[in-house]
């Protein structure tokens, strides 16, 4: 079983549209939407939920007011500024608390304990193309990296159980904790590059990250003009990635999004063939 | 907070946050002092459109645990108690994975042999600049391979001048980094991509802002009739005003065009005025 992660750096490059098409074109595949704070793959794959669970992703400090005497020792040691004293009353800012447990350790009166909380839900869904695993981070929550790691691990065991040969993972934008978490242990990256200077700038950072992980990368220019495709090819060549050409701007992607389907059912023969070739080349190399 | 601090967010990436933030700052700059903070630390693009003259830069640092191997006895207490799984025992000694460490200091306090301390190390860069319109530009840029974007964002927000207005170009999504930018703002502008995916992610951003109480407006970018209808339905149901609609026009995102050159300066001036009134 091999896992291919679709990244772009810049948001809105077309990761999800391309992932949906690749997923639909790959028999015996499973898809994971690793963009847990803005998961859209279900919107393009006709997903119907078959399992829905809560993810307990972090801990927060909880104060027992009957024991706390407001000494402030914990407040001074909190690295995240999550504790404050209002007079003698200790208040926890649950959005800043990272659940490290330093306050619990520092408290001489045993007035603080760490309590696990939910940071979102995760779903198994059936689609016409195979199983989809996706999640919904509670808006504003942290630890999306941990959530991504959990979802990918679950994806691997589910793929194994279902006898899937391939996992297509729709990655998060950016290069931070969620993107790092989406890469570890992946077999190959498909980097979708948005047109223009910013698309190239952001893709270069993602490529650098994948190179740090020593994961082989295929690069495809999306929606660009000729000069964008040339620049993308030059970037790939200079950074040791393989260039797989360009997918043109095409209204079919917009129609497909409004219809909630992968682009294939709206694509011209030309576009379909381009996507099939892209998929075949990535799978062959993985 | 006395000054106006506008967070530009969208939920969906690629909706046009940076374009709107830069043009909005340019509209503001014609009548007042204004800052533009690029707080999309993972992928900062503001400078590519604003083209400021860049000035000094300095490293952004964060605390990470470091083990003194001579003092470590390999008891494993720190490994077991670390809430971030940032420590492991390798060849009988504790080893820190810097990419997982949050620098909380729990291990430092737990270690009876005093074998662990925290040390600051660079995770990004803060860059300052000035645009020809007089906009004070600030960018927090996360180093590739570093996970802690929120730390970079926190420190760049701290670097803003307290009593001067600022437009803050935020990160995509609606996880902790977008939350951090919203919490430090007193007004939020949501850039809507008028498509099903754009509206789905916009709704998540609205839900995130619902945890705060902050005046919020929507701007529809690359406006289309059927797409706008989706945004407007959401906006109505959430009671958030749609302030302006920006047409599809390549000049708006073209770095060689001034605000006047885009042909839409009136639209961005109106947007700035609307936001100032909402904030007040």
Encode pLDDT of B18-31 as tens digits: 999 999 999 999 99
Contact B226 A258 (CB under 8 A): yes
Helix, strand or coil, per DSSP, at residue B11: strand
How far is Cα A231 from Cα B156, in angstroms, rounded to an integer?
Answer: 31
- State how beta strands B35-38 and B166-169 pair: parallel
Residues A70, A141 within the same domain: no
A253 Cα to chain B: minimum distance (Å): 11
Residues A210, A100 within the same domain: no
Q: What is the mean pLDDT of residues A156-180?
A: 97
Share of chain B above pLDDT 70, in %: 99
Q: DSSP letters of chain A?
A: -EEEEEE-SSTTSSHHHHHHHHHHHSTTEEEEE--TTS--GGGGTT-EEEEEEEEEEEEEEEE-TTT-----HHHHH-TT--EEEETTEEEE-TTT-----HHHHH-TT--EEEEEEEEEEEEEEEETTEEEEEEEEPTT---HHHHHHHHHHHHHHHHHHHT-SEEEEEPPSSSSHHHHHHHTT-SEEEEEE-SHHHHHHHHHHHHHHHHHTT--EEEEEES--HHHHHHHHHHHHHTT-EEEEEEPP-HHHHHHHHHTS-GGGG--HHHHHHHHHHHHHHHHH-
Supply the range of the domain harboring residue A71.
59-118
- State how beta strands A29-33 and B53-67 pair: unpaired
For B:217-256, CB contacts with A below 8 A are 226, 253, 255
Give the CATH number of the domain where residue A96 resides.
3.30.70.20
- B170 and A CB contact within 8 Å: no
pLDDT digits (tens, 9 = 90+) for B165-222: 999 999 999 999 999 999 999 999 999 999 999 999 999 999 999 999 999 999 999 9
- List Cβ<8 Å contacts ≥24 apart for B82-87: B82/B106, B82/B107, B83/A59, B83/A98, B83/A99, B83/A100, B83/A101, B83/A114, B84/A100
- B60 and A CB contact within 8 Å: no
A59 has which bridge partners? Answer: A116
Confidence of residue B280 (pLDDT cuts 50, 70, 90): confident
Kindly state whether residue A223 falls inside one of the protein's structural domains: yes
List CB contacts (< 8 A) between B41 and chain A: 176
Question: C-alpha angle A168/A174/A178, rounded to 5°?
Answer: 65
- Residue A274's contacts (CB-CB under 8 Å, 6 or more residues apart) are A245, A247, A248
Nearest chain B residue (CA) to A80: B104
Contact B15 A11 (CB under 8 A): yes
**Residue spans per domain, chain B:** 5-52+131-279, 62-122
How far apart, in Å, are the Cα atoms of B143 and each of A46, A79, B158? 38, 22, 19
Closest CA to A256 of A46, A49, A29: A46
- Name which of B144, B157, B169 to mutate to probe chain A: the one with the most chain A Cβ atoms within 10 A of its Cβ: B144
Whether residue B244 contacts residue B271, with contact meaning beta carbons closer than 8 Å, is answered with yes
- Residue B178's contacts (CB-CB under 8 Å, 6 or more residues apart) are A37, A140, B9, B170, B171, B172, B205, B208
Contact A144 B176 (CB under 8 A): yes
Closest CA to A8 of A205, A260, A243: A205
Confidence of residue A156 (pLDDT cuts 50, 70, 90): very high
Partner residue facing A173 (CB), from B43, B103, B193: B43
Please give the structure tokens belonging to residue A84.
Answer: 């404050």
List CB contacts (< 8 A) between A207 and chain B: none
Helix, strand or coil, per DSSP, at residue B225: helix
Kindly state whether residue A185 falls inside one of the protein's structural domains: yes
Partner residue facing B174 (CB), from A37, A176, A198: A37
Number of independent structural domains in chain A? 2
Residues A105, A243 within the same domain: no
Share of chain A above pLDDT 70, in %: 100
List CB contacts (< 8 A) between A144 and chain B: 173, 175-176
pLDDT digits (tens, 9 = 90+) for A234-267: 999 999 999 999 999 999 999 999 999 999 999 9
| Residue B22 phi, psi dihedral angles, 5° rounding | -65, -45
Residues A81, A159 within the same domain: no
A195 Cα to chain B: minimum distance (Å): 11
How far is Cα B22 from Cα B16, in angstroms, rounded to an integer?
Answer: 10
Q: What is the mean pLDDT of residues B70-89?
A: 96
Residues A180, A147 within the same domain: yes
Helix, strand or coil, per DSSP, at residue B221: strand
Q: What is the mean pLDDT of residues B138-161?
A: 96
Residues A150, A114 within the same domain: no
Partner residue facing A102 (CB), from B48, B109, B148: B109
pLDDT digits (tens, 9 = 90+) for A191-205: 999 999 999 999 999
Kindly state whether residue A189 falls inside one of the protein's structural domains: yes
Give the CATH number of the domain where residue A237 resides.
3.40.50.300
Residues A94, A35 within the same domain: no
pTM summary value: 0.96
CATH T-level fold of B62-122: Alpha-Beta Plaits (3.30.70)
In residues, how long is chain B? 280
- B57 and A CB contact within 8 Å: no
Residues A189, A88 within the same domain: no
Please check the confidence at residue B2 and state whether its pLDDT lies above 90. Answer: no
Question: C-alpha angle A16/A22/A27, rounded to 5°?
Answer: 140
- Name which of B109, B173, B204, B248 to mutate to probe chain A: the one with the most chain A Cβ atoms within 10 A of its Cβ: B173
pLDDT digits (tens, 9 = 90+) for B18-77: 999 999 999 999 999 999 999 999 999 999 999 999 999 999 999 999 999 999 999 999
> In this complex, how many residue pairs, one in chain A and one in chain B, have their CB atoms less than 8 Å apart?
172
**First-last CA distance in chain A:** 10
CATH T-level fold of B5-52+131-279: Rossmann fold (3.40.50)
How far is Cα B2 from Cα B34, in angstroms, rounded to an integer?
Answer: 14
Kindly state whether residue A39 falls inside one of the protein's structural domains: yes
* Structure confidence at residue B100 (pLDDT): 87
B280 Cα to chain A: minimum distance (Å): 25
B87 has which bridge partners? Answer: B96
Closest CA to B150 of B127, B172, B179, B125: B179
Whether residue B44 contacts residue A9, with contact meaning beta carbons closer than 8 Å, is answered with no
Contact A100 B84 (CB under 8 A): yes
Residues A208, A111 within the same domain: no
Residue that finishes a domain, picked among A118, A136, A154 = A118
Residues A214, A261 within the same domain: yes
pLDDT digits (tens, 9 = 90+) for A206-236: 999 999 999 999 999 999 999 999 999 999 9
Kindly state whether residue A16 falls inside one of the protein's structural domains: yes
- Name which of A33, A75, A94, A100 to mutate to probe chain B: the one with the most chain B Cβ atoms within 10 A of its Cβ: A100
Partner residue facing B147 (CB), from A177, A198, A208: A177
Closest CA to A266 of A257, A256, A274: A256
Partner residue facing A40 (CB), from B84, B182, B197: B197
- Residue A122's region, left for phi above 0, alpha for psi from -120 to 50, else beta, is beta
A203 Cα to chain B: minimum distance (Å): 9
Residues A102, A147 within the same domain: no
Q: DSSP letters of B131-184?
A: -TT--EEEEEEEPTT---HHHHHHHHHHTS-TTS-EEEE--SBSSHHHHHHHHT
- How high is the mean pLDDT of chain B? 96
* Structure confidence at residue A93 (pLDDT): 96
SS3 of chain B: helix, strand, coil, percent, to 5 = 35, 30, 40
H/E element, B79: helix B77-81
ipTM rounded to 2 decimals:
0.95
Identify the burial level of B109 via C-beta atoms within 10 angstroms of its C-beta, where 0-12 means exposed, 13-18 middle and 19 or more buried: middle
Please check the confidence at residue B1 and state whether its pLDDT lies above 60. Answer: no
List CB contacts (< 8 A) between B49 and chain A: 198
B234 Cα to chain A: minimum distance (Å): 16
- B140 and A CB contact within 8 Å: no
Q: What is the mean pLDDT of residues A263-279?
A: 98
Contact A79 B11 (CB under 8 A): no
A247 has which bridge partners? Answer: A222
Contact A12 B176 (CB under 8 A): no
* Structure confidence at residue B79 (pLDDT): 97
Contact A208 B144 (CB under 8 A): yes
- Match 């040969």 to its residue by tokens: A165
How far is Cα B49 from Cα B121, in angstroms, rounded to an integer?
Answer: 30
Contact B200 A40 (CB under 8 A): yes
Contact B173 A38 (CB under 8 A): yes
Residues A41, A72 within the same domain: no
Contact A95 B183 (CB under 8 A): yes
């Amino acid at each position: 079983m091999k896992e291919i992660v679709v990244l772009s750096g810049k948001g809105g490059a077309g990761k999800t549209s391309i992932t949906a098409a690749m997923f639909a074109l790959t028999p015996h595949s499973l898809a994971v939407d690793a963009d847990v704070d803005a998961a859209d793959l279900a919107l393009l794959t006709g997903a119907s939920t078959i399992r829905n669970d809560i993810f307990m992703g972090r801990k927060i400090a909880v104060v027992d007011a009957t024991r706390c005497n407001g000494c402030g020792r914990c407040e001074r040691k909190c690295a995240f500024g999550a504790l404050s004293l209002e007079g003698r009353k200790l208040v926890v800012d649950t959005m800043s608390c990272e659940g490290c447990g330093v306050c619990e350790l520092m408290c001489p009166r045993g007035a603080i304990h760490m309590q696990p909380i939910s940071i979102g839900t995760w779903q198994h869904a059936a689609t016409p193309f195979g199983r989809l695993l996706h999640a919904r981070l509670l808006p504003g929550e942290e630890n999306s990296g941990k959530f991504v790691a959990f979802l990918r691990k679950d994806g691997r065991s589910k793929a194994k159980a279902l006898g899937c040969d391939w996992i297509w993972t729709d990655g998060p934008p950016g290069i931070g904790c969620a993107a790092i978490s989406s890469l570890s242990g992946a077999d190959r990256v498909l980097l979708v590059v948005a047109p223009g200077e910013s698309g190239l700038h952001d893709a270069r950072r993602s490529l650098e990250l994948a190179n740090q992980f020593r994961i082989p990368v295929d690069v495809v220019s999306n929606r660009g003009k000729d000069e964008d495709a040339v620049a993308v090819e030059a970037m790939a060549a200079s950074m040791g990635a393989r260039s797989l050409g360009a997918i043109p701007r095409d209204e079919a992607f917009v129609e497909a999004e409004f219809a909630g389907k992968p682009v294939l059912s709206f694509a011209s023969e030309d576009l379909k063939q381009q996507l099939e070739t892209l998929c075949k080349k990535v799978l062959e190399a993985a | 907070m006395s000054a106006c601090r506008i967070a530009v967010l969208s939920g969906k990436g690629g909706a046009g946050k940076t374009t709107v933030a830069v043009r909005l700052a340019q509209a503001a700059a014609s009548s007042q002092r204004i800052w533009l903070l690029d707080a999309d630390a993972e992928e900062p693009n503001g400078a590519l459109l604003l083209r400021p003259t860049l000035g000094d830069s300095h490293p952004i640092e964060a605390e990470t645990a470091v083990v003194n191997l001579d003092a470590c006895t390999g008891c494993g207490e720190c490994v077991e108690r670390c809430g971030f799984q940032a420590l492991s025992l390798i060849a009988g000694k504790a080893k820190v994975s810097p990419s997982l460490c949050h620098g909380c200091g729990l291990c430092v306090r737990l270690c009876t042999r005093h074998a662990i301390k925290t040390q600051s190390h660079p995770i990004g860069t803060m860059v300052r600049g000035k645009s020809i319109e007089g906009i004070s530009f600030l960018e927090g840029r996360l180093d590739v391979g570093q996970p802690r974007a929120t730390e970079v964002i926190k420190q760049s927000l701290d670097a803003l001048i307290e009593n001067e207005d600022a437009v803050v170009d935020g990160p995509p999504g609606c996880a902790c980094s977008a939350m951090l930018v919203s919490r430090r703002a007193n007004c939020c502008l949501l850039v809507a991509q008028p498509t099903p995916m754009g509206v789905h992610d916009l709704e998540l951003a609205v839900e995130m802002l619902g945890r705060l109480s902050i005046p919020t407006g929507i701007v529809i970018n690359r406006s289309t009739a059927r797409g706008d209808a989706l945004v407007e339905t959401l906006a109505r149901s959430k009671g958030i005003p749609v302030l302006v609609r920006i047409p599809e026009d390549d000049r708006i995102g073209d770095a060689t065009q001034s605000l006047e050159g885009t042909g839409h300066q009136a639209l961005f001036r109106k947007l700035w005025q609307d936001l100032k009134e909402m904030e007040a």
